[in-house]
Structure 1
Amino acid sequence: MNILGKFTAILLLFAFEVSANAGSNFDIIAKLNSGPGNVTVMDNGRIIMSMHPFYQPKYTVVEYKDKMLVPFPNKELVDADSKSQLKLDSVLGIRSANGIVWMLDIGMRSGVTPKLVGWDTKTDKLHQVINLPTPITPKDTFVNDFAVDTRRNHIFISDPAGGVNAALIVVNLNTGTARRVLEGHASVIPENVDLIIDKVPVQIKDKSGKLNRPHIGVNPITEDLNNEWVYFGAMYGHSLYRIKADDLADEKLAAKDLANRVQRYGDKPISDGITIDKDNNIYLGELAENAIGVISSDRKYRRLAESADLSWVDSFSFGPAGQLVAVVNRLHQSATLNGGVLKAKPPFYLIQVKSLAAGLAGR
């Protein structure tokens, strides 16, 4: 029995509400009962979200449809070669392009090998699966966000890993191969800064019960609409960097030469996901201040919105009508980032942001 047939009567329920925030540059589209992870809006308007594994969701990927959240995909994932069923474990990163929804499964719940999964929404079939085994993903990997390069048929993944070994992962969709690059480079490792939100520091409890303040490496990553530059930086860092996509995709370029081609682009706050519009304005969440900001084409940062409702703005995606959608998941109040104590309670938010210019659907 496929997923849709099995779970038709037990769809994920949530309270729906459109809330106008006068002068705040964002509106609440929906109030969710479970914490979202990342979001992508397809070129036909479908909204697909990962549900954050820190909140132990029933479904790892869902579609926002008819004011409900329904499991996505609505069919079992069957590998065309082996004919075996493929299960999604812990999806976080999610993007779409040309009808394909790409899902990055970090495998954290079951300890399985991370993998990149593409689902073809036009044929409703599994499109491609690329496993990311060791040494592409080390033991402390946390493959997170990614950018889809449709010109080169590549995907660029951020992996904060353990901090000092943070790196980017370059996936060639034509060959199904992956490379780990820029590991330990200044552009991907975290700075020695703490994240404090509403006067409470983000803390992780280790196996001995000791509380530690994490410093997280490269996470935000996006590519401009011309598929020329890839922008990225450490989550716990005040710098945004960029590198030419041609250089990242060049398998013959020596590691030292690649590192030398990284450019510091400008200042940024501690942030999670990012996106970019047609005028090269880069949008991000300013986590410490419950805000959304933008780095404009002059490379200067400014805030667009600030509100208690913007408590950990995680992922962004443009839609086909130029609208900018984002999710709010209060991740700092999850047990994982709050010293083992779950403080976050519903509702979580799906929001629409008033962007400065239109962007590309799915990005």
Structure 2
Amino acid sequence: MTKRIVGLILLAALAGNAMAAESGNYDIVAKLMQGPGNVTATDSGRIIMSQHQFYDPQYSVVEFQGNDSVVPFPNKALNDRSGHADLTLDSVLGIRTDNQGIVWMLDNGMRSGITPKLVGWDTKNDKLHRVIYLPPPVAPKDAFVNDFAIDGGRKRIFISDPAGGGNAALIVVNLETGAARRVLEGHVGVVPENVDLIIDGHPVQVKGAAGHLVRPHIGVNPITEDLKNEWVYFGPMHGLSLYRIKAADLADDSLDSKTLAQRVERYSAKPISDGISIDRDDNIYLGELAENAIGVIKPDRSYQRLSQCPNLSWVDSFSFGPEGKLYGVVNRLHQSATLNGGEPLSRPPYFLIQVKALAPGLPGR
């Protein structure tokens, strides 16, 4: 039996186990004219979004101001790419807030070909907190550093890098020293499976250098850490399994690659998905991309579909804010020229949404 057939069987089983979806499980907070990438919220209620590089935005990061409007975050100067300076926010996707009010922005640098980096902005004092560069071999030439989780207690950031597929890996950044290391490269928990993403009957396709259409299979992307800072959950975007590893093991520089790989365990089934988040009861929220839906992996490891609606067309990212509010963004990324064989069909409005979570979470996560 081929991996493709196995994948289809698993997806069918996943759909069969899902509960009936309701379209009223979310609210549209804002209609956006530019396609968002990821979203974070501070404990004071500020909502900050990256703008997806596939849409070539003027500003890589923006803050939501209400009434469907946004302004560059933290300012226009840091978003000014005209000089191509290394400090410029070039191509931010992953964005998270820590418990000190630092908004961390993960810039893959791909639009201008600059070194990937983490940029931390102190929202309490409105100033640059830190910049940590991720040069080779930590982030190789084909790196696509995408999303991350923050472990404040261990002073670590765990980054997902799907890279070229076979060399997908996690990157562990030490926030005390600025040192970073690449781990679990090529592990089954990070490399893509042989499953295609088909949305509304149309396959996601990219146009290669020779003009041929290829259906991409993307490695590790979704990543989050539970609120007890015990487990880090992750998996390939194009994959039907979610994995986890103890945060203490992932942060332990003394563990060699073989030992670390042995500490990874398969946690549950999942659909093809992008960013994830987790609440205090260990419910893991994700976008079910192929079905225009939002789902949750519950603590008993079963999957439940929370909502399904044409508006939920590529739910990319989630983040909790204060008062248990769970935000998400919708960007119809499969209709961008990049993922639609060079033909741009995606049109605004895109959405900032609020999802009815099963339990409160931690702001910024």
Give yes or no for TM over 0.5.
yes
Contact 1:325 1:353 in 2 (8 A): yes
The alignment partner of 1:141 has SS state of: coil
Deviation at 1:23, TM superposition (A): 5.4
Residue 52 of structure 2 aligns with which residue?
A: 52
Tell me the SS of whatever aligns to 1:256.
Answer: helix
For 2:186, the equivalent position in structure 1 comes to 184
CA-to-aligned-CA distance 1:133-160 (integer Å, 9 cap, x gap): 0101111111000001111111000000
Runs of 5+ in structure 1 lacking a partner? 1-20, 79-83
One-letter code of the match for 1:26?
Answer: Y
Paired with 2:23 and 2:169, the residues of 1 have a C-alpha distance of 39
Change (3 A) 1:208 1:325: same
Asked whether the 8 Å contact 2:22–2:308 carries over to 1, the reply is no
1:92 aligns with 93
> SS at the partner of 1:86?
coil
Q: Distance in 1 between the 2:309 and 2:78 partners?
A: 40
- Percent identity of the aligned residues? 71
Give the distance between the partners of 1:175 and 1:266, measured in 2 at CA.
Answer: 34
1:282–1:295 Cα contact (<8 Å) kept? yes
SS in 1 for 2:323: coil
Question: What's 2:317 paired with?
Answer: 315
Aligned CA distance change for structure 1 residues 137 and 352 (closer, same or farther; 3 Å): same
C-alpha distance in 2 between matches for 1:275 and 1:299:
15
Amino acid at match of 2:91: S
Q: Hey, what does 1:303 align to over in structure 2?
A: 305
Distance in structure 2 (CA, Å) of the matches to 1:116 and 1:85: 11
Q: Aligned-pair distance for 1:125?
A: 1.0
The residue aligned with 1:34 is 34
Q: Does the CA-based 8 Å contact 1:281-1:297 persist in structure 2?
A: yes
Q: Which residue of 2 aligns with 1:17?
A: none
Q: Work out whether 1:116 is the aligned partner of 2:118.
A: yes
Q: Deviations over 1:161-214 (max 9, x none)?
A: 010000000000000010000000000000000000000000000111000000
Aligned mate of 2:335, from 333, 336, 352 = 333
1:259/1:122 Cα in 2 relative to 1: closer, same or farther (>3 Å)? same
Q: 2:353 aligns with which of 331, 338, 351?
A: 351
Q: 1:251 & 1:348 partners in 2: Cα distance?
A: 41
Cα RMSD between the aligned structures?
Answer: 1.4
Task: Give SS of 1:321's match.
Answer: helix
Q: What displacement does 1:66 show? A: 3.4
2:170 matches 1:156: no
| TM-score when normalising by structure 1 | 0.91
Match of 2:253 among 251, 254, 265: 251
How many angstroms does 1:323 deviate by? 0.6
Q: Cα distance, 1:107 vs. partner?
A: 0.3
- Separation in 1, partners of 2:92, 2:43: 21
- Which residue in the other structure is 2:64 paired with? 64
Inter-partner Cα distance in structure 1 for 2:203 and 2:39? 26
Deviation, 1:332, is 0.3
Q: Which runs of 5+ in 2 are unaligned?
A: 1-20, 80-84
Instruction: Report the equivalent of 2:145.
Output: 143
Q: CA deviation at 1:77?
A: 4.9
The alpha-carbon distance between structure 1 residues 22 and 207, as it changes in their structure 2 partners (threshold 3 A), is closer
Q: Any idea what SS the aligned residue of 2:324 has?
A: coil
Shift of 1:122: 1.3
Q: Is the 8 A contact 1:171 1:179 kept in 2?
A: yes
Which position in structure 1 is the counterpart of 2:8? none
1:24 Cα offset (Å): 2.1
Q: 2:310 aligns to what SS in structure 1?
A: coil
Match of residue 231, structure 1, among 233, 246, 256: 233
> SS at 1:122's partner residue?
coil
The answer as to whether partners of 1:154 and 1:170 remain within 8 angstroms in 2 is yes
State whether residues 190 and 218 of structure 1, in contact with CA within 8 Å, keep that contact through their aligned partners in structure 2: yes
Match of 2:167 in 1: 165
Distance 2:319 2:350 in 1: 17
**Displacement, 1:86?**
2.5
The one of 124, 127, 130 equivalent to 1:125 is 127
Q: What is the match of residue 13 of structure 1?
A: none
Return the offset for 1:87.
Answer: 1.1
Q: For residue 136 of structure 2, what is the aligned residue in structure 1?
A: 134
- Compute the TM-score of the two structures, normalised by the length of structure 2: 0.91
CA distance in 1 between partners of 2:221 and 2:78 (Å): 28
Is the aligned partner of 1:221 residue 2:223?
A: yes
